[in-house]
A and B are shown apart, each in its own frame.
Chain A
């Protein structure tokens, strides 16, 4: 288990459940190991004078038929009970898991045979199988253990089969097969290590089950035989007197229950630790770094704010569709994916935001649209949308403002529409909610809008469900949804990335036509510079959460000033790329939202970086009325970045 897994487990153990579970497990283990050494004598001392007595000061749980103290016997019996349970679970796992993994490797008729056999075995009631096998083998501990093992092996096999079938479909297994790796090695090196975690958890929980089952068998007289004794045996012996001295049976019963519960609880804790990995990992960061980062971000933001404010020309504040200054989005744990972003959009303008993954472009748009995740914290010295500050409005006012004037188009057309509702109904929902239309009116408007986005036979299409639409049509339906009110701003987040290139152009054209016909502004977010340059008049380039350049398309084509923009443009092969020359590429990796370097975020990868770049953040400076760049050594116009950056 690697470092991160260990830390996850430790963290899970610190919860109240975790503490209880680990305390219980520790107690059980200590008793199992130590109790026989300490209390063996007490447990087996025969006292004929005090047989079959109830609880008393000398004997807390009473005595059995031979006068032996039951309390000490319960403690000493821990070892045998736990040992047998672990043994049964282990044998069951050792047999069941490899059998279950076979269909993933072998496939074909043999695999199907094994699968059928497992299904058959699972169908039998486990306890009956255990009793059956134990009876055949003969009374005694070994019979009981083998019986339980045989009974639970099919469940392990079933689980193992399910887990390994997901591995079987994975690409790394396909790659290993293609390499010619032998089947046995495929099993041991590829399948089993990747299904180990859930199986380990199941095993821990099933030890508790085995404990219960073994106690049951011993209780029935099939399991442990005298002179050996485990909890089940003691329960058997004590049950005769349950109406007279209930504590005699209570002792072993409580022990069985607590023992089984402890293992089950510990297994749950492990499961929680395993599940906690993914999402939280992104937000968690070292506390010290987070503190330092927030201090630096606070200090660094004052200077560029002044510059940006002074540099921007243009319309008066209230005319703008959007005016944002010093927008910063942060998450608890120290991630700051959007830092100090300022943006202005005039009515009817189409602006593109370009950046790679991790640049913060999507979160910027989501911040504007009030669609940030709940954990996110937004701060901005100025946030003015449609002439109002959404932060100053009440929730319902804000919803009304955004619902009427903002339209959002998402990247994945598959998940943007509710698969359970008809398209017409979904598209018309905006009218029902924000314009008070009746269902019929809303549907009529929806059909109208579907027609406006060039969906053929809109009346019948409106009655269909999303799965009957193609990807391009779904995107168009989403755009139609945005057109229901009169949007003043359309935010399109990678609207064509998931679509084929021929469909892509149709959607882009539609966005442009919609923007022009309704005088709506639009923000087009994409990692594809070419797409953005086709549709937008102005392009904002983001890197590591900051705006590094803002320029119009002409300048983008002729000669961007920021080396990152130039490298981004040069790195993409076009139909005119010289096939004899290598493409420009950018070495290294982009900073993560947790990193906060003192200087320019691009400096580690920039061919033009100097010590100044690494020490001090360049401000976003105005180079012309339509061009701003944050760079200490901007590129001269017409320079060829390929010379400087090529691999």
Chain B
């Protein structure tokens, strides 16, 4: 699957090109305002696209007149962040999953009960829960029902938008384990969106780092995490709390930018620890958009100094990786 999105009035997603290989998990990580959720919603047609295309298995998905992507065969499904809002409070679990089966077709009334039970089993829930209303379930259980419902539609691509952020810690790991298991056993391609770098790293084969609507770095997980090319990625890694570590020294990043008025050139330069703020000779960061020439750099990094800085970061890598 491949997508490239374009500009909007407030450029929430700015010229993103991403590839999702089959049966792999792509993690999209970024902070608030990075555009990652907007990107996820645009892929399922909840948010209109100003320009760009989405290709699924080589087929271009058409866009309706209002700019929303139309996925007629429902091959892309999404799981939302809030488990309390994503299930109809007036439908039982069985009805919700059954609805997905009915739409997909091929499940007559007799078979449906068994299919619902099978899907509940797939997400490690007791099939007897099919009779219950969502208000009687915990957050982790509801999230699993949402996953089962998405799976019932037999999607080719599953998008998980911050699905563990609203859950308790002990429950998060169960849902993460489930996602990992499903992607490996069922071979579904997954896009996992989160602000939590450790979670994204755990689940993903490839990672894309987003900042202010742009993908500033993308590549396979291990190289991106162990040898980050973009200063923002490095800053994110540096900021991940580690058990028993000390509070890291101040990177003096300053305040997050206003998405309505992104800085010229490289969007990150006002906060970049190795940019024109600390190194006045690096004026190119303000003058030229690092998007040019990004394909030639390692990890398609949006940074003029990607490969050269990476060499100098060798010593810092010990601190950046932050292994126990």
Contact = CB atoms under 8 A, between A and B. Distances in A.
**B partners with A:** yes
A611 interface: no
A505 B89 CA distance: 38
B74 interface: yes
Contact of A534 (B146, B197, B199, B246): B246
Listed residue (A190, A506, A573, A590) with the most chain B CB atoms within 10 angstroms of its CB: A573
A172 B172 CA distance: 21
Interface stretch (A129-137, A266-274, A550-558): A550-558
Nearest to B178: A647
Contacts of B250: 505-506, 509
A185 B102 CA distance: 12
Contacts of B242: 530, 534, 574-575
A568 B246 contact: no
Given A527-B169, A528-B241, A530-B243, A193 B90 contact: yes
B76 to A, nearest CB: 8
Nearest to B237: A575
A576 B222 CA distance: 11
Contacts of A534: 241-242, 244-247
Question: In terms of DSSP, what is the predominant structure of the interface of chain A?
Answer: helix
B44 interface: yes
Q: Which of under 10, 10 to 19, 20 to 34, or 35 or more describes the interface residues of A?
A: 35 or more
Contacts of A643: none
B323 A575 contact: yes
A194 B85 contact: no
Contacts of B244: 533-534, 553-554, 556-557
A58 B87 CA distance: 65
Interface in B150-174: 150, 153, 168-174
Interface residues of B, number: 73
Nearest to A189: B91
A502 B177 contact: no
B86 interface: yes
A175 interface: yes
Interface string B288-324: 0000000000000000000000000000000001111
Given A178-B77, A573-B201, A470 B176 contact: no
A512 to B, nearest CB: 6
Nearest to A577: B202
B247 A179 contact: no
B274 interface: no
A343 interface: no
B107 interface: no
Interface string A552-586: 01101100000000011101111111010011111
Contact of B170 (A193, A553, A571, A575): A571
Contacts of B262: none
Interface in B76-94: 76-78, 80, 82, 85-91
A174 interface: yes
A533 B174 contact: no
Given A175-B146, A178-B44, A527 B197 contact: no
B52 interface: no
B114 interface: no
Interface in B235-255: 235-237, 239-248, 250-251, 253, 255
A303 interface: no
Interface of B: 31-32, 44-46, 66, 71, 74, 76-78, 80, 82, 85-91, 99-100, 103-104, 124, 133, 138, 146, 149-150, 153, 168-174, 176-177, 180-181, 195-199, 201-202, 221, 225, 235-237, 239-248, 250-251, 253, 255-256, 321-324
Interface of A: 2, 108, 170-176, 178-182, 185, 189-190, 193-194, 356-357, 470, 472-473, 500-506, 508-509, 512, 527-531, 533-535, 553-554, 556-557, 567-569, 571-577, 579, 582-587, 589-590, 647
22 contacts: A171-B82, A176-B99, A178-B74, A178-B77, A179-B103, A182-B103, A194-B90, A501-B31, A501-B240, A530-B243, A533-B241, A554-B244, A567-B170, A568-B169, A571-B169, A572-B169, A572-B172, A575-B242, A576-B321, A586-B170, A589-B138, A590-B168
Given A174-B80, A190-B91, A529-B243, 13 more contacts: A171-B85, A171-B86, A172-B86, A179-B103, A190-B88, A501-B239, A530-B245, A556-B243, A572-B173, A575-B197, A577-B202, A586-B173, A647-B174
